[in-house]
Amino acid sequence: MMQRRGFLRLTGRTVLAAILLSALPGAAVLAATPQQTADFFRAVQMDDAAAVKALLAKGVDPNQQNPVGGEPALVLAAREGSMRVLQVLLDHPAIQLDAPAINGNTALMMAAFKRNRPAAEALVARGAAVNRPGWTPLHYAAASGDEDIARLLIKRGAKVDAVSPPASGSYTPLMMAAREGHPDMVDFLTSQGANPKLANSEGLTAAQIAERRR
């Protein structure tokens, strides 16, 4: 009986020590190697869902930025149209939907710019932010001329007169549509309440930006 009690005390201490150790900062059980990280981003680009799943299981951080290019996996998948991988990433419990690339792009912004409606719909359905300070997904949809994605974003509450950072010109989505030569998008955004009288940091309205483009 004494031996059994001693064993129980030892086991309890061992379990407690393990719990305390696991709670310490930096005590991750798994840590990806540089080669695994490189393989992970290559698999994302190639839309190799099986490889991505295997590397995530080995400890690759789904939200880290690619050492080459500075994009998180979700942004890269949206840019490359890697839809199988995109779904794997969306299903990962630790995924951060709005983790930005080094240039500030989010996955939803990239999906809008690349006219990738399935990716945009999947991201919005999971709760990706349609509004954010500065550049927004609607700016990108306007620049690409994708009315379907613009409509999706506005339906989800996107601000039609969102303004880009002053350092980048203080552009609204309407101005971006005008600058990139998308008259149908200009008409659509105007019909959704976009203010054509707003001016950018140069003092130009969307109409004046369109005129300058000619």
CATH of the domain at 211: 1.25.40.20
Share above pLDDT 70 across residues of the chain, in percent, rounded to a whole number:
86
CA distance 68 to 24: 31
**Residues 64, 43 within the same domain:** yes
- How far CA 210 is from CA of 91, 107, 179, in Å, comes to 42, 28, 6
Measured in whole angstroms, how far is the alpha carbon of residue 4 from the centre of its chain? 55
- Asked whether the predicted pLDDT for residue 30 surpasses 70, the reply is no
Give the domain-ending residue among 129, 150, 181: 129
Confidence of residue 32 (pLDDT cuts 50, 70, 90): confident
**Residues 68, 93 within the same domain:** yes
Give the domain-ending residue among 110, 129, 148: 129
pLDDT (tens digit, 9 = 90+) per residue, 37-68?
999 999 999 999 999 999 999 999 999 999 99
Residue 3 lies in a domain: no
Confidence of residue 33 (pLDDT cuts 50, 70, 90): very high
* Residue-range definition of the domain harbouring residue 45: 33-129
- Asked whether the predicted pLDDT for residue 87 surpasses 80, the reply is yes
Contact 139, 164 (CB under 8 A): yes
**Residues 57, 73 within the same domain:** yes
Q: What do you get for the CA distance between the two ends of the chain, in Å?
A: 93
Domain count, the chain: 2
Q: What is the pLDDT of residue 186?
A: 98
pTM: 0.85
Residue 2 lies in a domain: no
